[in-house]
Structure 1
Amino acid sequence: MPLAQAAAALIIACSAPAVHDGDTLRCGAERVRLFGVDAPEVRRGQTPAQPFAYAARDELIRLTRGRVGCRLVDRDRYGRFVGKCWSSATPDINAALIRSGLATEWRRYSKGVYAGPEAQARAAGRGQWANNRAAGGR
């Protein structure tokens, strides 16, 4: 098996991972950045949290109760595992988080893979899209 295929086949699993923010969790010793997900940033030092940051983090905590698995898509510039994840709560954590409206698709990397879930959140006026729906959209 070529090295690229072996890396793509890498899967990690854990129970009740630690959640740092709305798009990053720790599964054992591995820090996992959710592929294609851009959640608002939580407070860092003197920099205040962005709107919906803690709601996104809480939603990721809810989605990762029980068993969690993540398949490696890439490694980011910080060496973090970038993955597509699933859990006892949902077959696609990444899509569920975007569908909640508490995170958006990071199209720079995902190239539209999660356009459908983001459109659903926008149409339903969920999370970050609540005010846009009342104002007639973007």
Structure 2
Amino acid sequence: MSFAPLAAAIIACTAPSVHDGDTLRCGAERIRLFGVDAPEVRRGSTPAEPFAYEARDELLRLTRGRVGCRPVDRDRYGRTVAKCWSSASPDINAALIRSGYATEYRRYSKGLYAKPEAEAKAAQRGVWAKPAG
């Protein structure tokens, strides 16, 4: 799917609402973070995956203040897929992966976030933490 006409547009807002660890809403625009795969929060009777709420809270922290997103695609649910930055981070996508609460979605990002993921893994943060015991 070609996304060229919208790729030049930047979506900007202040303190967007955060749905889960890889999805936010900037005004009327639903945005899925490009290259980020966060654990799923609880949906109906399906329980939350481990670290789902930590990922959501980290995205909330990273999106306080001004946020800008550059669209790169649109997903099958009609959400804008974008690379985002904020007052708190020049690259929200990489910061979330570096936190260890999300992993790189290599199917789409093709290794763009391999370094932040390797940092999280080496530091045993979040999903990369060794089980206790």
TM-score normalised by length of structure 2? 0.95
Percent identical across equivalent pairs? 79
Residue aligned with 1:131, SS:
coil
Is structure 2 residue 41 aligned with structure 1 residue 42? yes
CA shift for structure 1 position 6? 3.0
CA shift for structure 1 position 30? 0.1
Residue aligned with 1:74, SS:
strand
Instruction: Give 2:93's aligned residue.
Output: 94
Is structure 2 residue 46 aligned with structure 1 residue 78? no
For residue 82 of structure 2, what is the amino acid of its counterpart?
G
CA shift for structure 1 position 4? 5.0
Instruction: Give 2:6's aligned residue.
Output: 7
CA shift for structure 1 position 10? 1.7
Runs of 5+ unmatched residues, structure 2 = none
CA shift for structure 1 position 131? 1.1
State how 1:1-138 maps to structure 2 within 5 Å.
4-131=3-130
CA shift for structure 1 position 104? 0.1
Runs of 5+ unmatched residues, structure 1 = none
Q: CA separation of 1:4/1:128 partners in 2, compared to 1, >3 Å: closer, same or farther?
A: closer
CA shift for structure 1 position 8? 1.4
Larger Rg: 1
CA shift for structure 1 position 54? 0.2
> What is the rounded CA distance, in whole Å, between the counterparts of 1:123 and 1:56 in structure 2?
18
After the TM superposition, which segments of 4 or more aligned residues of structure 1 sit over 6 Å from their partners?
none
> What is the rounded CA distance, in whole Å, between the counterparts of 2:39 and 2:84 in structure 1?
19
Deviations 1:45-99 (A, max 9, x none): 0000000000000000000000000000100011100000000000000000000
Residue aligned with 1:13, SS:
strand
> What is the rounded CA distance, in whole Å, between the counterparts of 1:85 and 1:40 in structure 2?
19
> What is the rounded CA distance, in whole Å, between the counterparts of 2:64 and 2:6 in structure 1?
26
> What is the rounded CA distance, in whole Å, between the counterparts of 1:4 and 1:74 in structure 2?
5
